[in-house]
Chains A and B, each alone.
Chain A
Amino acid sequence: MAQLNIEQAGIGYDTVGISNFLNKLNLDVIDDLISKLHNNMGTLRAAVDQVWAGQSANAFKEKLERDSETMIQTLEGIKDDVKAEFAQIAQNVDNYDSAIAESLR
């Protein structure tokens, strides 16, 4: 039986490929960015403390924290949206496949 693959298709998704894509996007990209934002904060604060003292320095450290938190929250939002969207795609394709199968009975 001829086997279709995603490269030959005009629409659709490959179940293994999409799993790899979501893993890479969510785990390697989004989670790595979030980890870096968390982990680098200590180094950044130490650098500020090393060369800067006073109210301006404290205010800048607060900005670093706020911006890091903004980044993390937005990345989490993107991650949730990606998961929901591609779960819906998978569900819709399954529904379509079921409808096709039902019509063949």
Chain B
Amino acid sequence: MSIQNLVGNGISDLYHMGTGTLQEIGSRIESLLSGATARLESLWDGGFVGIDTANYTILTEAIDAHVKSLEDIINNFNTEAYIDGALKGQARDEAVLYVKAIKQLLEAYATTYRQFNIALTGAAHGERIEDSSIMAQMIAGDQSNAQAINSDAQAIQTEASQIRID
């Protein structure tokens, strides 16, 4: 085979250097994620019987700290520096897919536990959370806390179908 043929054929071959097309890689990743995110997005429906309403924040703060510790890990991974310095073409696109998959997995987990914290906070105040704005208003005192909770609650109400590989 001539150099010209090798180069000509190889350029397109090299663009698909891995196990398949980008769509095939994406499908494989989505299969990994779909069952997991469905399980992780299962909201807590076991109630809060037995909760210490005076000290429930010990639990909400522990959950917040736990979720944040996970988010810090992925947020500190300087994707551009590591991917762009190493890969081009489809290989780069595949690397982006893998990082995106980890972030989506983490988002499903974080959303569920943030929703748990909102529901627990409501329960501790003797209310059932039907509307995120009611939740925000219920929290007396620090206005910025109320706004943050309202924002979190609204974010949790997004469609589950948005948590998906593009």
Contact = CB atoms under 8 A, between A and B. Distances in A.
> A and B from one assembly?
yes
Interface in B21-72: 25, 28-29, 32-33, 36, 39-40, 44, 46-52, 55-56, 58-59, 61-63, 66, 69-70
Which range contains the number of A residues in contact with the other chain?
Answer: 35 or more
B99 to A, nearest CB: 7
Contact of A71 (B25, B49, B95, B109): B109
A73 B85 CA distance: 29
Contact of B18 (A51, A54, A89, A96): A89
B160 interface: no
User: Chain B interface mostly helix, strand, loop or mixed?
Assistant: helix
Contacts of B86: 6, 13-14, 17-18, 20-21
Contacts of A24: 77, 82
Given A13-B86, A21-B95, A25-B98, A43 B62 contact: yes
Interface residues of B, number: 60
A92 B105 CA distance: 30
Contacts of B13: 92, 96
Given A52-B52, A63-B44, A11 B63 contact: no
A59 B50 CA distance: 12
B148 interface: no
Interface string A20-53: 1100110011101100110010011011101111
5 contacts: A12-B89, A14-B87, A75-B105, A88-B18, A96-B6
5 closest cross-chain pairs (CB), A and B: A17-B86, A54-B50, A11-B89, A47-B62, A74-B36
